Structure 1
Amino acid sequence: MSRIASTARIHPMAIVEDGATIGENVTIGPFCTIGRDVVLKDDVEVVSNAVVTGKTEIGKGCRIFPMAVIGGLSQSLHEAGEDSTLTIGDNCTMREGVTINMGTVGGGGRTVIGNDCLFLANSHVAHDCILGNGIVMSNNVMLAGHVKVDDRAILGGGSAVHQFNRIGRNAFIGGLTAVNYDVIPYGMLNGNPGILAGLNIVGMTRAGIDRATIHRVRKAFKQIFEGEGNIRNNAAAIRDEYVDCREVIEILDFIAADSDRAISSPFRGKA
């Protein structure tokens, strides 16, 4: 049986399947379809001609625009209709044609998106992706399965991210970039194949990181990627020098963590 708040506004030409949970002040426009296992929390707006399906929970204040399909089955070749979920946090916006898939059993069974994320037209989040808060995915960005994107990362239009990749906090991915390997926090990646072009200084400044700290991060970046050893050994060797710099330690921890992918660098992919 559906649980529909008395303040919800549902257009008579929308379909809300029996079993859905619709919160206070939710607006559902014409020609929308809301599945039986969907939860729309308070103040959600589904504009028109959108589908929200599967075991999907949409957080407070989210907006879903026409032709978006949120909570569809994964596009994995191994998809067999197993039990899986999609959870989206508060105040996210999904513009026209956005597709976000549920998880798969093989990947943990869940796709998770944080708060305050913006998905521009025709961007895609595949199965088992884990996204943080304040992420911007521009038009036509494509995330393959099992991708992890940390807080405040920005992905430029038409960029494509290989499965199992990680993108660190405050990273910037340029338009049309092919993300084949992990991108460090505060990194800036451009090109096809993607080359680590330096640090996202603009993003760091907007995040309130002071000039002196940015200079220290720049110094660490050179030590890691221009040193004589390999990236992981260089990163480990400088840890003691930066124990008082949270931003550098964040980069070092990211490099040291287990991953299915290598680390993007200024040289990887060059002839």
Structure 2
Amino acid sequence: MTIHPTAIVAEGAQIGEGVTLGPYTVIDGDVTLGDRVTIGPHCVVTGHTTIGADTRLFPGTMVGGPPQDLSYNGERTEVVIGARTVLREHVTVHAGTQRGRARTVVGDDCFLMAGAHVGHDCVVGNHVILSNNVLLAGHASLGDYVLIGGGAAIVQRVRIGAYAFISGLSGVTKDVIPYAYVIGHRGRLDSLNLVGLKRRGFGRQDIRTLLDAYAMLFEGEGLFRERLARLTEAMGEDPLVARIVDFIAEGHNRPLLHPLPKSDTDAQSEIDLLEAGV
């Protein structure tokens, strides 16, 4: 391992093989660093924190600090960061609370850009990208492959489903179904994340299936629960659609983002994008 002479490593810290610690970095005693973790200058890793192999922390990052929650009174809670994740300059990840999950989790292969904040008790899936200055309030939950644009803010306890895209500067106050595209200062459901799905390898037929499911759920007649029941009966066995249905069921009647009424022209433009291979 490579430890700069000015770095401080407390007794009890568990340091894996090939770890690099930069100047003036502080590693507290209840920290576990996996193999080949790289921590840049002026970082602080504190609390009961575990960081997976090959993860990199850039200058000024703070991981494991106490939660910004007035109920917290020094209880033992945790932060777990996965493998091969990148935390750029001045990212902050706070520990959980006893009245929450008691653990804040960031998954594998994530990329948290400069200034992003992950609040207490959040769960961030694998392959998630948080752009600059994204703010996750306490207890937020993000599925795999979620991408959030710069300056967006996610309200406490909001859940964002896998493969969703949240545009920059959006404030998200309700749960977001998987595969969704959210836009606007006060975030609203605009459509499906068509470009993102294609980039992730979803085939044309899969995207058509999801467009049909989206239309049935949000553009059909009747109450939302009636449309959800029809979707479940008609398409619920499809694994892609099942992810949406299961996400809604797991929310236990939590409020969902819904789209504004869409014109026929808007709907046709989505089909045109698909036909054009976008």
TM-score for the superposition, normalised by structure 1: 0.93
Map of 1:180 onto structure 2: 173
Q: CA deviation at 1:213?
A: 1.6
Deviation at 1:225, TM superposition (A): 0.7
2:6 aligned with 1:45? no
1:254–1:233 Cα change, 3 Å: farther
Tell me the equivalent position of 1:238.
231
Q: CA deviation at 1:259?
A: 4.3
Q: Deviations over 1:116-175 (max 9, x none)?
A: 000000000000001110000000000000011000000000000010110000000000
Q: Which of the numbers 15, 25, 30 marks the counterpart of 1:32?
A: 25
Q: Which residue of 1 aligns with 2:80?
A: 87
User: Which residue number in structure 1 is paired with residue 188 of structure 2?
Assistant: 195
Taking the TM superposition and a 5 Å limit, the aligned residue runs for 1:57-136 are 57-136=50-129
- The 3 A distance-change label for structure 1 pair 244 and 108 is closer
Identify which range, 255-264 or 11-20, moves more after superposition: 255-264
C-alpha RMSD over aligned residues? 1.3
Pair 1:227 & 2:220 matched: yes
Q: Give TM-score, length-normalised by structure 2.
A: 0.91
Correspondences of 1:195-214 after superposition (within 5 Å): 195-214=188-207
SS at match of 1:248: helix
Report the counterpart of residue 3 of structure 1 in structure 2.
none
Q: Distance in 2 between matches of 1:230 and 1:154?
A: 30
Instruction: Return 5+ residue gaps in structure 1 as ranges.
Output: 1-7
Letter matched to residue 101 of structure 2: G
The aligned amino acid for 2:12 is G
Give runs of aligned pairs for residues 132-151 of structure 1, distance below 5 A. 132-151=125-144
Unmatched segments (≥5 aa) in structure 2: 262-278
For 2:90 and 2:179, locate their aligned partners in 1 and report how far apart those are by CA, in whole Å: 29
Kindly, what percent of the aligned residue pairs are identical? 44
Q: SS of the counterpart of 2:181?
A: strand
Question: Tell me, what secondary structure is at the counterpart of 1:106?
Answer: coil
| Count of aligned pairs | 261
- Deviation, 1:267, is 2.8
Q: Which residue of 1 aligns with 2:13?
A: 20
Alpha-carbon deviation of 1:257?
2.0
1:258 to 248, 251, 254: 251
Cα deviations by residue, 1:25-64 (Å, 9 ceiling, x for unpaired): 0000101000110001100000111100000000000000
In 2: Cα distance, 1:146 partner to 1:60 partner: 25
Q: CA distance change for structure 1 residues 259 and 155 in 2, over 3 Å: closer, same or farther?
A: farther
Secondary structure at the residue paired with 2:191? strand
Q: Which amino acid aligns with 2:67?
A: S
> How far is 1:203 from its partner?
1.5
2:193 aligned partner, one-letter code? N
1:55 aligned residue: 48
Residues 58-107 of structure 1, C-alpha deviations (whole Å, 9 max, x = no match)? 00000001111011000011111111001111000000000000100000
